[in-house]
Structure 1
Amino acid sequence: MLEVGIKAPDFTLLNQNGDNISLSDYRGQKVILYFYPKDNTPGCTKQACGFAENYPQFIDKGAVILGVSKDTVASHKKFEEKYQLPFVLISDPELVAIKAYDVWQEKNMYGKKVMGVVRTTYLINEEGYIEKVFGKVKAAENANQMLGEI
């Protein structure tokens, strides 16, 4: 994971609508940048729905939510529509942001060592610097945890 106090790496990737999106587009706002393994899996769905349920409170506090996984734009669009997610999902199949934020790591899945996205959430301040880092996030608690941080 990246350290608190450093400039958050910028990236330009596609959102769930197929539009280019850059982290720098959100300069001047707090950004909750969360990395998750896969659309439509139980933990990732709980995490995304938690952010969706609390979305008005995040907006009231001047924060935007960006969810990143290596899923395709089409997968993100289905995930957004199925759960009525009101925030941006970013497709990173080439692992550009995922590797830049050091969340592509070895994991133990059913006794096997595999590479994958470690669920991680970054809080980035209005100037584009990492303010807080949360590794090995508990999916169901992440939204409430982040509300308490901003």
Structure 2
Amino acid sequence: MTRLSAGDPAPDFTLPTDDGRTVSLADSRGRKTIVYFYPAAMTPGCTTQACDFTDSLSSLQAQGYDVLGISPDSPAKLAKFRERDGLTITLLSDADRSVMNAYGAYGEKKLYGKTVEGVIRSTFAVDEDGKVELAQYNVKATGHVAKLRKDLGIG
């Protein structure tokens, strides 16, 4: 598994949303984008993280960042997640995990002391030119957005 680092080109992608549209990373050129990968919609940690990004969305947008949340869930499950938790961030479905693999966000990880294969909770800040500005792997769901803002220098 190859992991991305600051300065690497961010792998482009086009994925379906929960509302039937498709979104491409290329659509974000000229703006900064936070791309984050999470294991499963409607689980406690992923809900905490998605709600945290939703609560912070307007202030992140004011700093020039869009937010894309990606999981292997189906668009229908993502729609339920959005509705249940009032999410305003863009949710994308990577059912075949090809984008997760391209970002190094899928592979072996520790879960309750066991090594398993799955989604590695990861976050990437992509600059206006499509380059990785910040790559974070194995992030914690709780408090992640506050740490990310600090790491990006956006208070």
What's the TM-score once normalised by structure 2's chain length?
A: 0.92
Distance 2:21 2:50 in 1: 20
Q: Which secondary structure does the structure 2 equivalent of 1:7 belong to? A: coil
1:147: Cα distance to partner? 2.4
Distance 2:147 2:110 in 1: 25
Distance 1:112 1:20 in 2: 36
**Identity in percent:** 41
Deviations 1:29-77 (A, max 9, x none): 1100000010011110110111111111011111100000100000111
Alignment partner, residue 102 of structure 1: 104
The one-letter amino acid of 1:28's match is G
**1:71 equivalenced with 2:101 (yes/no):** no
Deviations 1:106-141 (A, max 9, x none): 123345432100100000001100001111111111
Alignment partner, residue 23 of structure 1: 25
The one-letter amino acid of 1:38's match is A
Specify every segment of 5 or more residues in structure 2 that has no aligned partner in the other structure, as ranges.
none
Distance 2:136 2:110 in 1: 19
The one-letter amino acid of 2:111's match is M
**1:14 equivalenced with 2:31 (yes/no):** no
Deviations 1:79-123 (A, max 9, x none): 111111111011001112111101111123345432100100000
Alpha carbons 1:11, 1:96 under 8 Å: kept: no
Counterpart pick for 2:62 among 60, 63, 80: 60
RMSD of aligned alpha carbons:
1.2
Distance 2:42 2:84 in 1: 9
Counterpart pick for 1:135 among 125, 128, 137: 137
| Structure 1 residues 137 and 110: CA distance shift in structure 2, 3 A | closer
Alpha carbons 1:18, 1:73 under 8 Å: kept: yes
1:146: Cα distance to partner? 2.3
Q: Which secondary structure does the structure 2 equivalent of 1:16 belong to? A: coil
What's the TM-score once normalised by structure 1's chain length?
A: 0.95
The one-letter amino acid of 2:84's match is K
Q: Which secondary structure does the structure 2 equivalent of 1:34 belong to? A: strand
How many residue pairs match? The answer is: 150
Distance 2:111 2:74 in 1: 22
Runs of 4 or more, structure 1, over 6 Å off, are none
**1:116 equivalenced with 2:118 (yes/no):** yes
